[in-house]
């Protein structure tokens, strides 16, 4: 007993020493079970991340319901690399979280769907209704508040009559069925799924904001982690870029991979046609519009979630992505 304990201890010590000598041996990845995180889903399902990071590095992937929860894990130092929406990313940076945006992951892909028996045909009809977003303060919540303001409406928390209710996207269908919620602004594939179950599309990915040219998911890194492990960040981004490319060049296989991951994470088996429709409304890409990102910062303030904005020149760092994809030809 004693000997095995001593052995285990010495093994642990030597492993820790090895870890300290070689930098991190674990990459902790955060992402959500949404189609807008397709690159993460495909990369995990096909083992692309693990392949690029190498056999000596452990990939520890955790899924979150929304960016706000991921931000919390980030603040607690539990996540090294994350797929997250611009809202929480900007908010976190403004509060001084050590994060940097290193790549885009998807654009557009958020839609407004109403319950079929609710009399909602336009955004204006949301007056007096209950609208679900993934969580308060997340990207869709900020978009919704902007959409309401544009239509002369206000949230109940600001003295208006639209109730904004945080509901996990996978639970919206159930909330529709029990009439607890009248409409939802959700990321794909949940929008397409609600539509398939009889929900009415009130605003598509383009009407939601900027004609569809807005980032929905970004890749962020913990700056302390990145400074210590630039090679791991580059390796990760190589895998990220490869996954993005795979989604765009090999739709059927990518869709199957996404479907399998979503089923694993949410227990929801999504019909191939639904997924196809959802993917058509989402642009999977490593690029994003910087102006749109800055505008998100302004919307964050407009929504009352931020008082200050981060320094965008420091927040966005595309050097890792550039050197990672240049190294592609090695």
34, 36, 48, 138: which one contacts other proteins (CB under 8 A)? 138
Could you say whether residue 68 binds other proteins (CB under 8 A)? yes
25, 50, 78, 165: which one contacts other proteins (CB under 8 A)? 165
Could you say whether residue 97 binds other proteins (CB under 8 A)? yes
Could you say whether residue 39 binds other proteins (CB under 8 A)? no
Strand ranges across the sheet with 163-166: 163-166, 130-133, 183-187, 110-114, 200-203
Q: Applying CB under 8 A, which part among 40-48, 150-158, 263-271, 286-294 lies near other proteins?
A: 150-158
172, 305, 315, 324: which one contacts other proteins (CB under 8 A)? 305
Burial class (CB in 10 A: 0-12, 13-18, 19+), 80: buried
* Residue 162 or 258 with smaller CB distance to other proteins: 162
Residue matched to tokens 């490319």: 245
Q: Applying CB under 8 A, which part among 23-31, 219-227, 300-308, 319-327 lies near other proteins?
A: 300-308
Could you say whether residue 75 binds other proteins (CB under 8 A)? yes
3-state secondary structure of 210: helix
CA gap 64, 79 in Å, rounded: 11
58, 95, 116, 124: which one contacts other proteins (CB under 8 A)? 95
Count of positions on this chain that bind other proteins (CB under 8 A):
35
Alpha-helix runs per DSSP H in 105-171? 139-150
Strand ranges across the sheet with 26-31: 58-63, 26-31, 81-84, 215-222, 99-108, 282-284
**Between residue 192 and residue 211, which ones bind other proteins under the rule CB under 8 A?**
none
Q: Applying CB under 8 A, which part among 27-35, 71-79, 186-194, 319-327 lies near other proteins?
A: 71-79
Could you say whether residue 30 binds other proteins (CB under 8 A)? no
Could you say whether residue 88 binds other proteins (CB under 8 A)? yes
CA gap 102, 39 in Å, rounded: 14
Could you say whether residue 169 binds other proteins (CB under 8 A)? no
DSSP H or E stretch at residue 201: strand 200-203
CA gap 309, 189 in Å, rounded: 31
* Residue 102 or 181 with smaller CB distance to other proteins: 181
* Residue 159 or 252 with smaller CB distance to other proteins: 159
Strand partners of residue 220 = 82, 101
Strand partners of residue 283 = 107
Burial class (CB in 10 A: 0-12, 13-18, 19+), 326: exposed
* Residue 296 or 320 with smaller CB distance to other proteins: 296
178, 249, 313, 328: which one contacts other proteins (CB under 8 A)? 178
Instruction: Output the smallest distance, CB 164 to other proteins, in A.
Output: 9
Alpha-helix runs per DSSP H in 167-282? 172-177, 190-196, 205-208, 223-228, 230-249, 251-266, 272-280
Binding site for other proteins (CB under 8 A): 68, 71-72, 75, 88, 91-92, 95-97, 130, 135-138, 145, 154, 156-159, 163, 165-167, 175, 178, 180-181, 302-307
């Amino acid at each position: 007993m004693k000997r095995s304990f001593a052995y285990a201890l010495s093994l642990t010590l030597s492993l820790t020493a090895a870890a300290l000598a070689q930098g991190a041996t674990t990459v902790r990845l955060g992402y959500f079970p949404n189609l807008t995180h397709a690159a993460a889903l495909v990369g995990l399902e096909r083992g692309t991340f693990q392949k690029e990071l190498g056999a000596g590095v452990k990939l520890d992937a955790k899924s979150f319901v929304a960016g706000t929860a991921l931000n919390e894990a980030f603040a607690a130092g539990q996540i090294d690399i994350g797929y997250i929406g611009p809202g929480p990313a900007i908010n976190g940076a403004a509060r001084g979280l050590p994060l940097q945006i290193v790549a885009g992951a998807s654009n557009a892909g958020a839609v407004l769907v109403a319950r079929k028996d609710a009399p909602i045909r336009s955004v204006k009809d949301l007056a007096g209704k209950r609208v679900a977003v993934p969580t308060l303060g997340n990207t869709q919540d900020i978009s919704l508040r902007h959409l309401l303001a544009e239509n002369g409406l206000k949230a109940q928390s600001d003295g208006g009559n639209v109730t904004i209710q945080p509901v996990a996207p996978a639970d919206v269908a159930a909330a529709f069925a029990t009439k607890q919620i009248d409409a939802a602004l959700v990321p794909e594939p949940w929008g397409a799924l609600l539509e398939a179950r009889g929900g009415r599309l009130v605003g598509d990915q383009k009407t939601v904001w900027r004609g569809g040219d807005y980032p929905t998911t970004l890749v962020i890194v913990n700056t302390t982690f990145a400074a210590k492990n630039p090679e791991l960040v580059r390796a990760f981004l190589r895998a990220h870029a490869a996954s993005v490319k795979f989604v765009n060049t090999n739709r059927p296989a990518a869709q199957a991979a996404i479907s399998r991951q979503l089923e694993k994470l949410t227990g929801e088996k999504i019909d191939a046609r639904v997924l196809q429709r959802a993917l058509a409304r989402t642009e999977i890409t490593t690029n994003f519009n910087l102006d749109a990102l800055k505008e998100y910062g302004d919307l964050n303030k407009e929504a009352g979630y931020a008082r200050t904005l981060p320094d965008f020149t420091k927040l966005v760092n595309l050097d890792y992505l550039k050197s990672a994809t240049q190294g592609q030809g090695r």
